[in-house]
Amino acid sequence: MRENKLRTIWKQGGCVVNGWLAVPSSFCAEVMAHTGWDSLCIDIQHGMVDFQTAISMMQAISTTSVTPIVRVPWNEPGIIMKCLDAGAYGVICPMINTRADAERLVGTCRYPPAGFRSCGPTRAALYGGSDYQAKANETVVAFAMIETAEALANVDSILSTPGLDAIFIGPNDLAISMGLANSLDPTESKVVAAIEQILAACKRHGVKAGVHTGSAANAKAMIAKGFDFVTILSEARILAQAATALVADVKAAAAAAVAK
Amino acid sequence: MRENKLRTIWKQGGCVVNGWLAVPSSFCAEVMAHTGWDSLCIDIQHGMVDFQTAISMMQAISTTSVTPIVRVPWNEPGIIMKCLDAGAYGVICPMINTRADAERLVGTCRYPPAGFRSCGPTRAALYGGSDYQAKANETVVAFAMIETAEALANVDSILSTPGLDAIFIGPNDLAISMGLANSLDPTESKVVAAIEQILAACKRHGVKAGVHTGSAANAKAMIAKGFDFVTILSEARILAQAATALVADVKAAAAAAVAK
Amino acid sequence: MRENKLRTIWKQGGCVVNGWLAVPSSFCAEVMAHTGWDSLCIDIQHGMVDFQTAISMMQAISTTSVTPIVRVPWNEPGIIMKCLDAGAYGVICPMINTRADAERLVGTCRYPPAGFRSCGPTRAALYGGSDYQAKANETVVAFAMIETAEALANVDSILSTPGLDAIFIGPNDLAISMGLANSLDPTESKVVAAIEQILAACKRHGVKAGVHTGSAANAKAMIAKGFDFVTILSEARILAQAATALVADVKAAAAAAVAK
Amino acid sequence: MRENKLRTIWKQGGCVVNGWLAVPSSFCAEVMAHTGWDSLCIDIQHGMVDFQTAISMMQAISTTSVTPIVRVPWNEPGIIMKCLDAGAYGVICPMINTRADAERLVGTCRYPPAGFRSCGPTRAALYGGSDYQAKANETVVAFAMIETAEALANVDSILSTPGLDAIFIGPNDLAISMGLANSLDPTESKVVAAIEQILAACKRHGVKAGVHTGSAANAKAMIAKGFDFVTILSEARILAQAATALVADVKAAAAAAVAK
Amino acid sequence: MRENKLRTIWKQGGCVVNGWLAVPSSFCAEVMAHTGWDSLCIDIQHGMVDFQTAISMMQAISTTSVTPIVRVPWNEPGIIMKCLDAGAYGVICPMINTRADAERLVGTCRYPPAGFRSCGPTRAALYGGSDYQAKANETVVAFAMIETAEALANVDSILSTPGLDAIFIGPNDLAISMGLANSLDPTESKVVAAIEQILAACKRHGVKAGVHTGSAANAKAMIAKGFDFVTILSEARILAQAATALVADVKAAAAAAVAK
Amino acid sequence: MRENKLRTIWKQGGCVVNGWLAVPSSFCAEVMAHTGWDSLCIDIQHGMVDFQTAISMMQAISTTSVTPIVRVPWNEPGIIMKCLDAGAYGVICPMINTRADAERLVGTCRYPPAGFRSCGPTRAALYGGSDYQAKANETVVAFAMIETAEALANVDSILSTPGLDAIFIGPNDLAISMGLANSLDPTESKVVAAIEQILAACKRHGVKAGVHTGSAANAKAMIAKGFDFVTILSEARILAQAATALVADVKAAAAAAVAK
């Protein structure tokens, strides 16, 4: 079966540098797949992307060695299993607040007896190989998002869920649920402390720790802290930031030229 | 009729700062439309975009005050008129090498008696307003691409075509047709000289001069030279450059963390 | 933040005249957006529309000042939050039969502490403005559909749900659940009485009352009764009625011409 | 081979009542196919429709007995043959101004020896039947649009083109090319006279005469004059007219209610 | 109302031969609809198909007399009702493990008082006819998938659910849930026995029995056993098998030619 | 630059076994790409495929080592260059009847000075590599279709066109243009002789010879004759043949079961 780069990198003690896709376009995904990310996550929750488009984006990513994963809209078996059948090698599931949530997520991602995933890896077997069915349970990564005060309170029971590979911190939602302003690069001490608390729990439970960041600087800081998986912005926001800066620069020159 | 920002800016003596769209996505176009460009050109020639998708991108651009234009794949009436009917306020046509090419382009973009455009502004009248039919000829901008040695030789006869509003220089094709290496920021003296020769001819004929550039620095240099319309890269290349730099930065940190 | 016309009209004591979209086409939506409606609802429940298409329809509506809302297929957080992130300024949710249903709906539509909506207004922030996150809770309108005998029995407990802005009566389902024939312009006394009972409850609880109608005549009657939000047919049915009448008229003439 | 209703009706001496599709949606096409038209024309010229979408619209029409035809963007073999391969039973081609234009159109629509259509009726053979290849030449209808002063001057040479089945008058373009204001229901005496002149020429040459109209009243008048094929507006315009009237009616009531 | 071929064939004591669609393409569906199947099931669970595409596939199937059904991703009212509104004449629902699951499925598929399906057969009424609403409950077929050890244990309580028309055995999932290797043509005695046990229960309860098979040979064996509904592979797998065999044959010849 | 398998196989003296894609689906293309073909041709002429869909199909093919090529609808620079920019490694162009046609085709496929292809390999550079621009002229294969009596008469002048890599015989069109019945496995002696005449001319001019066939048997016969490139049917026809046979087999058993 084709390797899951996440597991390969983790075995080597490394941190996965993951890109984020909110634009519903297979060509945009292919452009991103040529810029160096280890993995790319198609965001079917907050991204402007639905399942049909996500398939084409997974195909685009599969033209390279980058590993495709998805963030699903909610902890619902229908959409999670569809994404896995389409070839996602990882699932990031939002709003895992309790042990029961985590168990349901893990069960959805695993074939029996480890779970209740239904058999039919229609594209996954093309992508992964003919031994997909046999090796999927040990290959696919299930990420629980820890992003509420409730999840924080339940972090140990969540992290001890059998089969849970990793967690992913959503700093925006975490801050909001704590009554604070949202930021992908949080500086509020309570949010910073919560993130550290979750990271420490991950280390304790042998669960990989991931986090969404808003800048290279913060991503590097998170790597230094020991995170195993960092995401930086999304392609839409990287583009928006770069284009805004570029246009402002050129328009200032255009304005100056008119003024002359 | 809704204004064409190109004409408004030109009346004020300014230079249009134009963005370029190669990604077939209305959401990506909408993101770009919020980053400050005066106009956005949907590239149906070299972009990964077809007419059906271009309509949705024009709709996305129309959620803002940015002016939508298109580059068509070739000097063919079918596709040019379709784009105008969908609401494009400008048409950039590649490979205009002769006076006859230019006349055909202008005729395609104008209703009789100025040309032979067929009547049916299905979306254009929603976008432009109920007086679209009456005012389209004076609103829509026709750009001839000057991008071959042949066009350079014919520049005066092309530029004197009645009704030709503007030209757009494609530095890549111009260089290649001269037997030189392509670049959006050319430094080859023969290419630089050719661009200046075209610009001078534009000033002589009262035709607006546009050019594709590969960086803010070059765009600013072109504005300083007197160009009326500058394009910088495409959204795909802006994204690729920004993401590549960002990933390289973070992966270096990740590698260093493993090495420790 | 861009205004929500529903709230503006309601502040002025007016009734919102809302159109209904069942055709999965951004161009059709744009045509409708130019015909005078205050708001347009994309029907992702009974319409032939899925999320990916709904985004493009919201973009089309956003080329005008008409307010975009959606009817979701079911009271499920995944799809409701996706629609909000795409820029819907209102959510109509079917089959709210109990207080618990209503609370779940309201919670899904609100950021903490008012609810549990997840943060990521990817397109909504482009549409609404950079203060979207701060003002979304007071801008977005949550409509509970009251359309079963069970909901009728629970109307007071549903209407007293904190944060529930409005309800929307589905006369077809309401009639069917009462064992009567469905109609958007009901004349059955039990259905008429139920609608009046719901309207009275709305006035009592300070909740806005909406209703789906099948004709201008009935819409006007509902406005006269005090409804705050009326929908008339769908674009598919308006088209079908108008085309059927037009064709019948012309074909009668064609038949007469042959007979001669 | 499945019948072409146009030919059936014409054999019976009747006039075809044809609907017009500018909305790129197979569902909208299916709605229209249930409203009584004899045939439906997908407008790939001025409609917001491209080939890929047109296929799905032809499929939708094919769920009924309505005959699908297309208007192509220009007299180009590529797109015309693609539409025929997808199952179009008629082709309306714009801007046929000369005998050479008409010959090229007819040749494109016919297999050798009558023309140079390339063999590959991929969907047409599913739609038409296994004898499609043998009977296509006698089944498919080629319409030349007569819509310029030049075409008017050449009307006899155009109409005598062997194999040309029918013409279709575009009153808008015809008027504009004569220097007059466009209208689908022309009252300008020069346009009216031109239309009558073309009709008379059709009768003389045994070519079927079609015309685009803007209302049932005018369509009926054209039938009375002897036209064989009438089109009324498009689905987009029928919808826009009906919705505008309906909204205006209801909003007047809403305004009156507020004023009280 | 248009007939449901499943019910017609069952009334005649026959077995439905059903095709399976995993390719998201209306043209591919139309090709399949011309190859002789009684019905075609669009697989929205394991197929690469989402609702928007499924509509176009149902349209394609509706160009023929083949009956369209769907397999939904999960037992969720939102997607099931959407598929019915789009014209599906049958619903196959995965993972029905308990009586409560079965009751929820049946309720979702039936209008009151038999269930809680919401009224709005937007395309279904075009496909089925104007009496759709009245006759849908007796026309639409609800299939519960029996595909786990748990379902096997509960088979009698599931099969006695009022209104449950049929079941569909998923041999792959059934085998996996029993700790055995998956196969569409199972030979493991425990799986074979389980299938026979389910079939016997169906006969006992008067519920139609369906099964997915991996070959014509097994399909014929299942018919001989008394199954009422057999599916063979999917169009993707039929194509893959046929193309693989064909290419291997030709490439062997090509290799031999080089060797010479 | 990524290799073009066609050139690699030809250098080894082998024959390319090419598959044909008429279904507009990236997933169907991916299924085909896993069945062993050396290359896959997306048929934008007679296939139900347009440019936008063709891009996604090229992406799907690019997930494997199969080489993607396209058949374009007509000898028009617009669409040919778009396909090359999207990553097609070969272009099959229909109806090349004269030396001038062939020169235009070759010129369209080559950058200056060998031709007039415009520079902008937007996806091609992702697929081919960063040296695409430098090596495209020697990598991309241009196929002229020889498929009319006129082309047969001009075969030597066509085949001596500088830069023409290969030809592709369309037996259907060739037969029709000779006044004979069409077949992909022709037995008419005049067609057989014409094919041999073209093959001999190819050998004489050092141009690679390709042919479309309707069966493995004929493909093998053509390889034995010395063809360098064989195509067998299309995926739509392989599927239709296989499914028709399978259904007929099973339905016979179903009918027999009822009869009992």
- Per-residue pLDDT reduced to its tens digit, E149-204: 999 999 999 999 999 999 999 999 999 999 999 999 999 999 999 999 999 999 99
pLDDT of residue A35: 98
pLDDT digits (tens, 9 = 90+) for A83-132: 999 999 999 999 999 999 999 999 999 999 999 999 999 999 999 999 99
**Residue E131 at interface with chain A, using a CB cutoff of 8 Å:** no
| F215 alpha carbon, distance to own chain's centre | 16
| Residues near D128 by beta carbon (within 8 Å), at least 6 away in sequence | D1, D2, D87, D89, D121, D135, D136, D139
Measured from the Cβ of residue D125, the count of other Cβ atoms closer than 10 Å reads: 18
Nearest CA in chain C to A78: C78
Check whether C53 has a pLDDT greater than 80: yes
Q: Is chain D in touch with chain C: ≥3 Cβ pairs within 8 A?
A: yes
Higher pLDDT residue, F27 or E258? F27
Distance, in Å, from the CA atom of B33 to the CA atom of A214, rounded to the nearest integer, reads 22
What letters, b where the CB count within 10 A reaches 16 and e where it falls short, cover D4-14? bbbbebbeeeb
How far, rounded to the nearest angstrom, does the alpha carbon of residue C46 sit from its chain's CA centroid? 12
Question: Where do runs of H (alpha helix) occur along chain F?
Answer: 5-11, 26-33, 51-61, 77-85, 99-109, 124-128, 132-139, 149-153, 155-159, 171-177, 189-205, 216-225, 235-259
Name every chain B residue with its beta carbon within 8 A of the beta carbon of A21.
none
pLDDT for res E56:
98
Which whole number is the average pLDDT over F71-84? 98
* Residue A145 phi, psi (nearest 5): -80, 130
CA distance F198 to chain B (A): 33
N- to C-terminal Cα distance for chain B? 65
Token pair belonging to E200:
């016997």
SS3 content of chain B, % helix, strand, coil (to 5): 50, 15, 35
The residues, ordered by sequence, that sit 6+ positions from A3 with a Cβ below 8 Å of its Cβ are none
Helix (H) or strand (E) holding E229: strand E229-232
Residue B236 has pLDDT above 90, yes or no: yes
Number of helices (H), then strands (E), belonging to chain A: the values are 13, 8
Query: Phi first, then psi: what are they for D6, rounded to 5°?
Result: -60, -50
Whether residues F17 and E243 touch (CB distance < 8 A) is answered with no
For residue F78, give every residue at least 6 positions away whose Cβ sits within 8 Å of its Cβ, in sequence order, or none.
Answer: B45, B72, B73, B74, B76, B79
Q: What integer pLDDT is reported at residue B88 of this predicted model?
A: 98
pLDDT over threshold 90, residue B173: yes
Q: Do F27 and A55 touch (CB under 8 A)?
A: yes
State the smallest CA–CA distance between residue B138 and chain A in angstroms.
24
When pLDDT is cut at 50, 70 and 90, the band that residue E257 belongs to is confident
| Interface touch A45/C133, C-beta < 8 Å | no
Chain C environment of E119 (Cβ under 8 Å): 170, 172-173, 176, 182
Q: Which candidate from B14, B28, B244 shows the least CB-CB separation from A35? A: B244
Please report the pLDDT score of residue A259 as a whole number. Answer: 76
The owner of tokens 């397109």 is C123
Q: How far apart are CA C168 and CA A234, in angstroms?
A: 37
| Confidence band, pLDDT 50/70/90 cuts, at residue C193 | very high
Spot the catalytic one: F34, F46, F205, F212: F46
Please say whether the beta carbons of B181 and B139 come within 8 A.
no
Percentage of residues in chain E having pLDDT higher than 90 = 98
Give the nearest partner residue to E126 out of D34, D123, D126, using CB atoms.
D34
- Closest residue by Cα to residue D16 from C150, C257, A97, E103: C257
Q: Per-residue pLDDT tens for A207-252? A: 999 999 999 999 999 999 999 999 999 999 999 999 999 999 999 9
Q: Given pLDDT bands bounded at 50, 70 and 90, which one contains residue B26?
A: very high
Query: In angstroms, what is the C-alpha Rg of chain F?
Result: 19
Interface contact flag, C118 A177, Cβ < 8 Å = no
Task: Give the model confidence (pLDDT) of E7-64 as tens digits.
Answer: 999 999 999 999 999 999 999 999 999 999 999 999 999 999 999 999 999 999 999 9
Provide the annotated active-site residues of C. Answer: 46
How far apart CA D155 and CA D174 sit, in angstroms, is: 13
The answer to whether residue B131 neighbours chain D at the CB level (below 8 Å) is no
For chain D, which domains are there?
A: 5-259 (3.20.20.60)
Cα–Cα distance measured from residue A203 to residue A209, given in angstroms and rounded to the nearest whole number: 8
Where is D167: in which H helix or E strand? strand D166-169
pLDDT of residue A88: 98
pLDDT computed for residue F91 by the predictor:
98
Question: For a pLDDT cut of 70, what percent of chain C falls above it?
Answer: 100
**pLDDT band per the 50, 70, 90 thresholds, residue C258:** confident
First vs last Cα of chain E: how many Å apart?
65
Among chain B residues, the shortest Cα distance to F108 is held by: B74
Interhelix angle D77-85/D99-109, nearest 10 degrees: 30
Residue C227's DSSP bridge partners are none
Name the residue with higher pLDDT: B257 or A197.
A197
Report the pLDDT value the prediction gives residue F257, as an integer from 0 to 100. Answer: 84
Nearest to D162 by CA among D108, D213, D102, D218: D102
Q: Which long-range contacts (CB under 8 A, 24 or more apart) does D191-195 make?
A: D194/D152, D195/D169, D195/D171
**Cβ distance of D126 and E34 shorter than 8 Å:** yes
Helices (H) and strands (E) in chain E, counts: 13, 8
Per the prediction, chain A carries an average pLDDT of: 97
C-beta of residue F60 within 8 angstroms of C-beta of residue E39: no
Q: Cα angle vertex E10, ends E8, E16, to 5°? A: 95
For residue F146, the cross-strand partners are F169
**pLDDT tens across F111-147, in order?**
999 999 999 999 999 999 999 999 999 999 999 999 9
ipTM computed for the complex: 0.97
Substitution target in D122, D123, D133, D135 with the highest count of F β-carbons within 10 Å is: D122
For residues C142-157, average pLDDT? 98
- Tell me the C-alpha distance between E172 and C81, whole Å: 35
Residue B199 near residue B227 (C-beta atoms within 8 A): yes
Q: Of A150, A157, A188, whose CA–CA distance to A172 is shortest? A: A188
Chain B residue with minimum CA distance to F116: B177
Q: What percent of chain A has pLDDT over 70?
A: 100
> Percentage of chain E with pLDDT > 70?
100
What's the pLDDT score for residue D197? 98
CB contact under 8 A, E85 and C46: yes
Amino acid C184: pLDDT: 95
The catalytically annotated residue of E34, E46, E205, E212 is: E46
Give φ, ψ of D242 to 5 degrees: -65, -45
Quote the pLDDT of residue B258: 80
Task: Mark whether B and C touch (3+ CB pairs within 8 Å).
Answer: yes
Give dist(CA C80, CA C85) in Å, integer: 9
Residue in C55, C111, C113 nearest the CB of A48: C55
Residue B259 clears pLDDT 80, i.e. is over it = no
pLDDT at E243: 98
Reported as a pLDDT band with limits 50, 70 and 90, residue B213 is very high
Which residue, among B224, E25, E21, F254, has the nearest Cα to A56 in the 3D structure?
A: E25
What is the pTM (predicted TM-score) of this model? 0.98
| Interchain contact D231–B (C-beta under 8 A) | no
Residue-by-residue pLDDT tens, chain D, 260 positions:
999 999 999 999 999 999 999 999 999 999 999 999 999 999 999 999 999 999 999 999 999 999 999 999 999 999 999 999 999 999 999 999 999 999 999 999 999 999 999 999 999 999 999 999 999 999 999 999 999 999 999 999 999 999 999 999 999 999 999 999 999 999 999 999 999 999 999 999 999 999 999 999 999 999 999 999 999 999 999 999 999 999 999 999 989 888 77
SS3 assignment, position F218: helix
Subunits adjacent to chain A (3 or more Cβ pairs under 8 Å): B, C, E, F
Overall average pLDDT of the A166-177 stretch: 97
Q: Inter-chain contact E55–C24, Cβ cutoff 8 Å?
A: yes
Cα nearest neighbour of B30 on chain C: C126
